[in-house]
Amino acid sequence: MTAAIVECPTCGAPVEWGPQSPSRPFCSDRCKLIDLGAWASEAHAIPGNDLEDDLFSGDMPPREH
């Protein structure tokens, strides 16, 4: 049985999905940290629920993303 090959979400390099690739789905710790930094800086974001924003964020300015 052959391991699946996936594409690194950061750089697009092929990554073998298995224990030999501990940073999977990333090709390296560097790519994993680049992705984490994008989430921390809000370059990546998951859309929220407008109703929840109204209920819990009354004192905060609206999100810009």
* Residues of the binding site: 8, 11, 27, 31
H or E stretch at 14: strand 14-16
DSSP assignment letter at 19: T
Q: Which amino acids are annotated as binding site for Zn(2+), given as ranges?
A: 8, 11, 27, 31
Angle at alpha carbon of residue 25, lines to 29 and 12, rounded to 5°: 85
